[in-house]
Amino acid sequence: MREEMVVASSLSVTFEQHKVLDGVSFKVGEGEVFALLGGNGAGKSTALKSFLGTVTPSGGSASVMGLSVASQIDVIRQKVAYLPESVMLYGHLTGVENIEYFLSLAGITSAKDKIESALKRVALQQDAWYRSLSNYSKGMRQKTAIALALLREAPVLFLDEPTSGLDPSAIDEFNQLITTLASEGSTIFMVSHDVYGACQIAHRIGLLDKGKIVGMFEREGDNPIDTEAVHASFSKRNG
Amino acid sequence: MSVIKQIMWDEWRYWQRTRLAITVIITGVVLIVASVIVNAIGIQHAKHEREHLQHAAESRFAEQPDRHPHRMVHYGHYVFRTPSPLSIIEPGVDSFTGTSIFLEGHRQNTAMFADQRQSSGLTRFSSLAPSFLVQVLAPLFIVLVGYASITREKEAGTLNIMMTQGVSKRHVLTGKLFALLGAGLLLLLPMILASLWASFRGESSLVTGSYIVGYLLYILVWSGVVLGVSALSHKSSASFAGLIGLWVVLCILVPRIGSSTAAALEPSPGKLEADFAVLEELRKLGDGHNASDPAFEQLKSNLLAQYGVETVEELPINFRGTVAQYSEKKLTDVLNDFAEIRMQEELSQAQIARHFGWLSPAVAIRSFSMIVAGTSLETHHRFLREAETLRFEFVQSLNKVHQDKLDYQVDMNRSKSAETSKAARVDASNWSVLSSFSFVPEAGGVRLVQGGTYGVQLLFWFGVVVLFLNLAMRRMSE
Ligand SMILES: Nc1ncnc2c1ncn2[C@@H]1O[C@H](COP(=O)(O)OP(=O)(O)O)[C@@H](O)[C@H]1O
Ligand SMILES: [Mg+2]
């Protein structure tokens, strides 16, 4: 059995008496790409944040790499990389400076050429690398943040809507990247509302609706998960 | 440690790139540098001028020709208070208490201002003393620079990203605190350099060292307050409003309330009222110029008995000089009693106002700064007392010359003709009874002991801020 990297057991989160997550359980193994799929407000981001300690569960538990989020969040944060839903970086810094700064906060000093090759890998146009981030488009920021997540060289990546804001070719490149990372042993937990994209890259898909897992789809062999089946199930619930 | 350093560096980089904070800091530093320079020049000038005037007054007195000794009592003398080295930073009460006194017989004059340039542009600018700028404006600058240091990251969502890189709240707060302290230190730097210069000009290094530490604590307190409020606020606008409110209360309102309370609790009688009370007392003493005033009957009969003679003419000494001494002593005792009461009232008022240092760090640093710099009310009172001692000594010495060196008969006949008046004089060499005057503030150790309470107030605020920052760290939302 593969190592269990990300585990949710009966996870519940309540905001102001409103149950956003209601007893969610799943496990993500090492080297696996797991996608949590759901409509707007389904609770996807909340589920993801439960592993980063920025949301406190009202019931159940979450753990990463065998470490409990409740008690060992500081250790977890040093081991994982997180791509937030809306990318928050500094407008007063350039793309490269942003990456340098946040890496240094994680205790990583990365050589310039390593940062540049990561930016190349996420296909951020070269003339933007040393320009102020305040002039970046949403997609460019997204790519910068993905490069940052890559450079963290974390065994587990938490990605919240990673392809939002990217153009189709960038999405293809991104999907390629995720597949490579997973084959190299990284564990990827992503949330998305893009059925097609998720089916392309995920080994498993959990369908989240109104705070509950309402379906699980698994890849058989090397074939992508059947988009039709997921889509049918998804649109039944999201109209 | 290196994470804290990174956060601090990035904060400085942010200030520099966004220009607002750096503009505020540069404006503040330029203002303080200008104020230190203008003040240092002004004080240095005043010091030379007063030393010169003091010297000139002493020579003028000594160079008077042969005269009747009592004319010298009324000719009088000036003393000047030379400024303490640290008054280039902290003029304290010097700017409104007067710095020179005219000393003469039978009167205690109030201190006046020696400088003629009182209302010139230079002195008006110097009312923006470095101490005022650092005590009142520096906190405002720190507020402007730092109010958004945490809220900015919250609003942009970058605080979350920092946290998810494995940075703790303690790291974030410490890094930002150091950054803010850096700005505070820049504002303090001109003052630190001026203190070192004062040290070089003769101030004890223990005093300047403690002085600098006091101000460092003050800057630390404000940096901590600004950071804590920013950490506890959700929005920059709320942090800004809260901090400006706090600044108005701590730097403007509490000091005012302090002095009003002091004035209400310890009301001092009006000048006129006090003057009448003194006159009332003095009238009972008799006129020292008139040896036959009935007030001196007792003195006369005692003297006659002592020397075993029948009339004052037979006395071996000049009775008029004896009366002058006797009445000057009586009068001085009365004047001193009133002066001591008035000084005690002033001091009680000041002390009540200084208790408000427990309510505002601005009051604490102000008290500490004035006392340690040697520009406090205590130092001024000592100047008044020393001046009075000198006055009494030279007046009585002249009265003794009057008694011992001028014949009674010659003295009595002094207004008969030009001839007799010329005879009723003593030699100018007697004017050397005047001792030279040079005022120095209390020894450094004494001032530090006097200022101890206010140093403790600053430490108290430091403790409050440490607790506040700990609370802010625990309560800080991400
Ligand atoms: N901090 C919060 N306070 C209150 N309600 C929240 C908070 N965060 C999310 N919610 C609510 O929880 C629900 C799920 O949010 P979210 O997890 O962001 O959904 P998704 O990412 O699936 O679109 C939404 O109704 C949202 O309004
Ligand atoms: Mg979301």
Report pLDDT digits (tens) over B349-360: 999 999 999 999
Q: What is the mean pLDDT of residues B463-477?
A: 93
* Number of H-type helices and E-type strands within chain A: 8, 10
Question: In 3-state terms, what secondary structure has residue A61?
Answer: strand
Under the banding of pLDDT at 50, 70 and 90, the label for residue B408 is confident
Ligand 1 atom nearest to A47, measured from its CA: 17
Summarize pLDDT for A67-104 with one digit per residue, the tens: 999 999 989 998 899 998 888 899 999 999 999 999 99
Question: How many CA atoms lie less than 13 Å away from B60 in the CB half-sphere?
Answer: 11
CA gap B216, B188 in Å, rounded: 8
Q: What is the mean pLDDT of residues B433-443?
A: 82
CA gap A54, B478 in Å, rounded: 8
Tell whether A163 is covered by a domain: yes
CB B92 within 8 A of CB B112: no
Over 80: is that where the pLDDT of B113 sits?
no
Using CB atoms, pick whichever of B3, B13, B168 lies closest to residue A74. B168
CB B74 within 8 A of CB B102: no
What DSSP designation does B120 have?
Answer: S
Torsion, CA B387, CA B388, CA B391, CA B397, rounded to 10: -120
**Lowest mean pLDDT: which of B210-214, B282-286, B307-311, B369-373?**
B282-286
Under the banding of pLDDT at 50, 70 and 90, the label for residue B433 is confident
Q: What residue ranges do the domains of chain B occupy?
A: 2-475
Instruction: Give the Å distance between the CA of A88 and the centre of ligand 2.
Output: 14
Ligand 1 atom nearest to A211, measured from its CA: 14
Summarize pLDDT for A154-211 with one digit per residue, the tens: 999 999 999 888 888 888 888 988 999 899 999 999 999 888 888 989 999 999 998 9
Q: What is the mean pLDDT of residues B225-229?
A: 97
**A20 close to ligand 1 (CB < 6 Angstrom):** yes
Q: Closest chain B residue to A132 measured between Cα atoms?
A: B17
> Which H or E run includes B29?
helix B20-62
CA gap B178, A196 in Å, rounded: 49
CB B30 within 8 A of CB B188: no
| Token code pair at residue B124 | 């008006």
Phi and psi at residue B351, in whole multiples of 5°? -70, -35
Could you tell me if B432 lies within 8 Å of chain A, comparing CB atoms? no
pLDDT for the residue numbered A29: 93
List alpha helices for B63-157, DSSP H.
69-75, 94-97, 121-126, 130-132, 138-146, 151-156
CA gap A164, A197 in Å, rounded: 11
Over 70: is that where the pLDDT of B37 sits?
yes
**Lowest mean pLDDT: which of B55-59, B109-113, B193-197?**
B109-113
Q: Report pTM.
A: 0.88
CB B94 within 8 A of CB B46: no
Q: By CB neighbour count within 10 A (0-12 exposed, 13-18 middle, 19+ buried), where does B417 fall?
A: exposed
pLDDT for the residue numbered B216: 97
Question: How many CA atoms lie less than 13 Å away from A156 in the CB half-sphere?
Answer: 26
Please count the residue pairs, one from chain A and one from chain B, whose beta carbons lie less than 8 angstroms apart. 62
Under the banding of pLDDT at 50, 70 and 90, the label for residue B29 is very high
Within 8 A by CB and 6+ apart from B339, the residues are B108, B384, B388
Within 8 A by CB and 6+ apart from B283, the residues are none
Could you tell me if B156 lies within 8 Å of chain A, comparing CB atoms? yes
Could you tell me if A88 lies within 8 Å of chain B, comparing CB atoms? yes
| Token code pair at residue B240 | 């800004």
Could you tell me if A15 lies within 8 Å of chain B, comparing CB atoms? no
Tell whether A52 is covered by a domain: yes
Over 60: is that where the pLDDT of B322 sits?
yes
C-alpha distance from residue A134 to each of A88, A196, B160 (Å): 11, 31, 19
Within 8 A by CB and 6+ apart from B325, the residues are B396, B399, B400, B403
CA-closest residue to ligand 1 atom 16? A43
CB B371 within 8 A of CB B447: yes
Which of A11, A13, A15, A213 most suits a substitution to test ligand 1, by most atoms within 8 Å of the C-beta? A15
pLDDT for the residue numbered B120: 44
Within 8 A by CB and 6+ apart from B362, the residues are B135, B136, B139, B250, B251, B254, B255
- A89 CB neighbours in chain B (<8 A) are 158, 161
Q: In what order do the strands lie in the sheet with A204-209?
A: A80-83, A156-160, A187-192, A33-37, A204-209, A212-218
Under the banding of pLDDT at 50, 70 and 90, the label for residue B1 is low
C-alpha distance from residue A159 to each of A44, A51, B36, B284, B319 (Å): 11, 12, 56, 97, 108
Could you tell me if B390 lies within 8 Å of chain A, comparing CB atoms? no
Q: Which-ligand-closest: CA of A44?
A: 1
Under the banding of pLDDT at 50, 70 and 90, the label for residue B317 is confident
Per-range mean pLDDT, top range of B187-201, B237-251, B297-311: B237-251
Q: How many CB atoms lie within 10 A of CB B373?
A: 30
A19 vs chain B: nearest CA distance in angstroms? 21
> Which H or E run includes B455?
helix B452-475
**A91 close to ligand 1 (CB < 6 Angstrom):** no
* β-strand partners of A8: A26, A62
- B5 CB neighbours in chain A (<8 A) are none
pLDDT for the residue numbered A239: 62
Under the banding of pLDDT at 50, 70 and 90, the label for residue B327 is confident
Could you tell me if B18 lies within 8 Å of chain A, comparing CB atoms? yes
* Amino acid, res. B233: S
Could you tell me if A86 lies within 8 Å of chain B, comparing CB atoms? yes
**A233 close to ligand 1 (CB < 6 Angstrom):** no
Phi and psi at residue B235, in whole multiples of 5°? -125, 150
| Token code pair at residue A32 | 């696996």
Q: ∠ at Cα B309 (B307, B311), nearest 5°? A: 120
Q: Closest chain A residue to B152 measured between Cα atoms?
A: A90
CB A175 within 8 A of CB A167: no
**A211 close to ligand 1 (CB < 6 Angstrom):** no
The answer to whether the Cβ–Cβ distance between A82 and B167 falls below 8 Å is: no
Tell whether A168 is covered by a domain: yes
Q: Closest chain A residue to B4 measured between Cα atoms?
A: A105
* Domain count across chain A: 1
| Token code pair at residue B248 | 């108005």
CB B93 within 8 A of CB B377: yes
Q: Which-ligand-closest: CA of A47?
A: 1
pLDDT for the residue numbered B269: 67
Instruction: Give the Å distance between the CA of A234 and the centre of ligand 1.
Output: 19
Tell whether A134 is covered by a domain: no
CA gap B194, B121 in Å, rounded: 22
The answer to whether the Cβ–Cβ distance between A105 and B17 falls below 8 Å is: no
CA gap A174, A119 in Å, rounded: 12
- A92 CB neighbours in chain B (<8 A) are 13-14, 17-18
The CATH code of the domain that includes A33 is 3.40.50.300
Instruction: Give the Å distance between the CA of A135 and the centre of ligand 2.
Output: 25
Chain B interface test: which of A67, A90, A103 (most B C-beta within 10 Å): A90
CA gap A55, A113 in Å, rounded: 36
**Lowest mean pLDDT: which of B59-73, B311-325, B405-419?**
B405-419
Tell whether A211 is covered by a domain: yes
B167 vs chain A: nearest CA distance in angstroms? 6
Under the banding of pLDDT at 50, 70 and 90, the label for residue B118 is very low
Q: ∠ at Cα B146 (B251, B224), nearest 5°? A: 65
CB B191 within 8 A of CB B275: no
Q: What is the residue-averaged pLDDT of chain A?
A: 90
Residue A32 is part of which domain span?
Answer: 4-83+154-238
Summarize pLDDT for B89-103 with one digit per residue, the tens: 998 888 778 788 888
CB B185 within 8 A of CB B219: yes
Q: Which of B347, B354, B380 is nearest to B84 (CA)?
A: B380
B89 vs chain A: nearest CA distance in angstroms? 38
Q: What is the largest CA-CA distance in chain A?
A: 50
Summarize pLDDT for B158-169 with one digit per residue, the tens: 998 898 888 999
CA gap B51, B83 in Å, rounded: 10
C-alpha distance from residue B275 to each of B99, B108, B334 (Å): 21, 11, 12
Over 80: is that where the pLDDT of B125 sits?
no
Under the banding of pLDDT at 50, 70 and 90, the label for residue B127 is low
Instruction: Give the Å distance between the CA of A11 and the centre of ligand 1.
Output: 15
Q: How many CB atoms lie within 10 A of CB B477?
A: 10
CA gap B324, B311 in Å, rounded: 18
C-alpha distance from residue B465 to each of B114, B118, B361, B367, B454 (Å): 43, 41, 11, 20, 17
pLDDT for the residue numbered B255: 94
Under the banding of pLDDT at 50, 70 and 90, the label for residue B121 is very low
Phi and psi at residue A59, in whole multiples of 5°? -160, 160
Q: What is the mean pLDDT of residues A55-72?
A: 93
A25: left (phi over 0), alpha (psi -120 to 50) or beta: beta
**Lowest mean pLDDT: which of A139-143, B227-231, B303-307, B386-390?**
B303-307
Summarize pLDDT for B285-305 with one digit per residue, the tens: 777 777 777 777 888 888 788
